[in-house]
Amino acid sequence: MSTVATTSPGARFIDPKVLARVGSLELAARIVVEGFINGLHKAPYLGVSVDFAEHRGYMPGDDIRRIDWRLFARTDRYYVKQFEADTNTNFSVLFDVSKSMSFGSRGLTKLDYGRFLAACLSYLSHKQRDRVGIVTFDEDIVERVPPSAKHFDVTLHTLDRMTAGRPGALGPPLYKATEFFKRRSILVIISDFYDEPEKVLDAVKPLRFAGNDVIMFHVLDPAEVDFPYDESSSFQDLETGRKIPVVPDKLREQYRGLVQDHIEALTSLCSQNRIDYAFLNTKVPLDPALFKYLAMRHKMTKVR
């Protein structure tokens, strides 16, 4: 633990494998986040305040509690006060717990990696008084914790006990999840996105179009990226069970090319649809992911 708490510049890059040994998720998240924040010396992306922006004329349907009565007293007209932003926004993790996420070539599965990532992000958000929730899904919604300021623990608990067992699909569960987020939220989707890029985007777009800010974390194991196998073997698809005799030497280059193409296609399509996308290799520490998240929060403040 003391090792992790070090303030040395490289200490914040904690190997996820080491992180996996930490039993408590909250602790692990705190280790990562606080180490991460400490390393920044300054947190330029934090401190989003509640600032008054402007008045606007009352429209039927506006909450009458937001009417500025003082202004009404002066002008005899109804005005509604508008603020820069709500500091405590909704934050939800949409976690893919399909069978393929249970893969890990280095002792750390993608599920574990995603678990830490989700815990860290939730912790960060919770620290900012955001409402935290989680939705786990495979081919359907598995579990749902609605965003709430009080649900941080439940969220962590859900993250802790979730397992990957069934085949997955993106479209149906995400479409169903769209209904859960009536209020504008920050949605973090953690998945390995094993589907055609167009289909992935088709599944994610409804969330984006509902006004949510969506960040896709594409988690892959190094073996999935590099295809380091040598012996010709029968490869079995974890989700479908289908077996294919494979001679890795013959197809490694092609495989790597296809994976890169997939990532590039997702990057491009997400960019076109104003969806944040980050590719994460589980051999890489969580910091880039956190950076990505914070950068997005920062961007949100800029846009507004």
Partner 1 sequence: MSFLTPLLLAAIAALGVPVLIHMIQRQRTDIVEFPSLMFVRKIPFHSMRRQRVRHWLLLLLRCAALALLVAAFARPFLQSAALAAVTGGSREVVILVDRSYSMGLANRWERARDAARGVVRDLASDDLATLIFFDSGAQSGARSTTDRASLLAAIDAAELSAGTTRYGPALQLAQGILEESEQPRLETVLISDFQRVGVDSAANTLLPPGTVLTPVSVADDTESVNISVAGASVQRDIFSGRERATVTARLANRGGVPVESLQVALELNGRELESLPVTVGANSSATVTFAPFTVEDTAMPISVRTEGDALPHDDVFHFTVSAGDVVPVLIIGSPGAGEANLFLVRALGIGTSPSFEVTVRSVDQVTADDVAEAAVVVLNDVGLPSGPNGAAITRFVEAGGGLWVVLGERVRWPGDNLALLPGTVDAPADRDGRGGALGFVDYSHPVFEVFSTPRSGDLTSPRFFRYRPLDLPPDASVLARFDDGEPALVEHAVGAGRVLVWTSTIDSFWNDFALKPIYLPFAHRVVQHLADYNQPTPYLTVGQVLDLAQYPGAVELDLTSANLVVRDPLEERVNAGDDGRAGFIELSRPGFYEIRDTDASDTGLVRVAVNVDLDESNLEPVDPDELVAAATGRAGGDREVTTERELAPEALERRQTLWWYLLIGALGFLAAETVVSNRLSRTELDPD
Which residue, 70 or 256, has its beta carbon nearer to partner 1?
256
Window 133 to 152, contacts with partner 1 (CB under 8 A): none
Q: Is 224 in the site for partner 1 (CB under 8 A)?
A: yes
Q: Is 107 in the site for partner 1 (CB under 8 A)?
A: no
Nearest distance, CB of residue 150 and partner 1, angstroms: 35
b/e per residue 227-248 (b: at least 16 CB within 10 A): bebeeeeeeeebbeeeeeebee
Q: Is 258 in the site for partner 1 (CB under 8 A)?
A: yes
Single residue of 12, 131, 262, 297 touching partner 1 by CB under 8 A: 262
Amino acid at residue number 145: V
Alpha-carbon span 87 to 107, nearest angstrom: 38
**88, 128 Cβ separation under 8 angstroms:** yes
Q: How far is CA 189 from CA 58, 91, 92, 100, 180, in A?
A: 37, 11, 9, 15, 14
The tally of CA atoms less than 13 A away on the side-chain side of residue 261 is 9
Binding region for partner 1 (CB under 8 A) out of 43-51, 96-104, 117-125, 295-303:
96-104
Window 7 to 66, contacts with partner 1 (CB under 8 A): none
Which residue, 233 or 271, has its beta carbon nearer to partner 1?
233
Contacts of 90 (CB under 8 A, 6+ apart): 130, 131, 133, 147, 181, 183, 184, 185, 186
Q: Is 115 in the site for partner 1 (CB under 8 A)?
A: no
Q: How far is CA 45 from CA 29, 71, 128, 292, in A?
A: 19, 34, 11, 11
Which residue, 54 or 237, has its beta carbon nearer to partner 1?
237
Nearest distance, CB of residue 107 and partner 1, angstroms: 15
Which residue, 200 or 278, has its beta carbon nearer to partner 1?
200
Alpha-carbon span 277 to 288, nearest angstrom: 12
Q: Is 96 in the site for partner 1 (CB under 8 A)?
A: no
Which residue, 67 or 225, has its beta carbon nearer to partner 1?
225
Binding region for partner 1 (CB under 8 A) out of 8-16, 77-85, 229-237, 280-288:
229-237
Residue 262, SS3 per DSSP: helix
Q: Is 237 in the site for partner 1 (CB under 8 A)?
A: yes
Residue 230, SS3 per DSSP: coil
In the complex, which residues of this chain contact partner 1 (CB under 8 A)?
Answer: 99-101, 103, 110, 192, 194-195, 221, 224, 229, 231-240, 242-247, 250-251, 254-255, 258-259, 262
